[in-house]
Amino acid sequence: MPKRTNEFQKLVYLVRTNLAAGATVTESKMLRDRVTRNQREVDVCIEGRVGGQAVMVCVECRDHKRPADVQWVDASRTKHERLPTNALILASKSGFTPEARRVAEAYGIETFSLEDVDSTDFPSLLTRQLNIELN
C-alpha cells in the first residue's frame, strides 16, 4: 500500500465524520473492473444509501509536486466508468491545471486540493455528486 500523507489521512477522517449514519468509508478498497474482471484499487470508497438506493462515491487522491493535469482526470474517469462507482471526486495535493478543472467539471467530477481539506464542505460535495448521478 502506498505511503499516505497527513492531508490524505485528514481527508479520510473528515469524510467519515461528515457522512450520514449508516455510510461506510473504506481506504484502499479493491473493486472489480467490469471489463477485465481484475481488482482495481480505489483510494477511498464511501458506501451508503440515498433514497433507498445503494450508492458508492469514490475518491482518488494524487500526491505530486505538480498540479494534476487533464490526463489524470481522463484516466480516472475511464477507470471509474468500469467500476461500480456512482460518483467520483478527485483530490490533488498540488491542485489542478485550469484545463483539468474544466474537463472534470464537464464530466461532472468534483475536484479539490488536499490543502483545502479543512475548508471543504463534505456534505455539500457528496450531495452534489450524488444528485448528478441519481437525478
Residue predicted with more confidence, 14 or 76: 76
At residue 6, the pLDDT reads 55
**pLDDT class of 54 with cuts at 50, 70, 90:** confident
Question: Considering the domain 6-134 in this protein, what is its CATH number?
Answer: 3.40.1350.10
Mean pLDDT value across the chain: 81
pTM of the model: 0.79
Cell numbers standing for residue 58: 469514490
The helix/strand/coil state of 27 is strand
Measure the CA–CA gap between 19 and 43, rounded to whole angstroms: 17
As a dihedral over the C-alpha atoms of residue 72, residue 16, residue 48, residue 115, rounded to 10 degrees, the angle is -20
At residue 57, the pLDDT reads 87
The answer to whether 49 and 56 have CB atoms below 8 angstroms apart is no
Q: pLDDT per residue over 68-123, tens digit each? A: 999 999 999 999 999 999 889 999 989 999 999 999 999 999 898 866 766 667 66
Pick from 30, 26, 22, 99: nearest CA to 67: 99
What's the N-to-C CA distance of the chain in angstroms? Answer: 35
The answer to whether 135 and 108 have CB atoms below 8 angstroms apart is no
Residue predicted with more confidence, 124 or 77: 77
Please check the confidence at residue 42 and state whether its pLDDT lies above 90: yes
Measure the CA–CA gap between 89 and 60, rounded to whole angstroms: 6
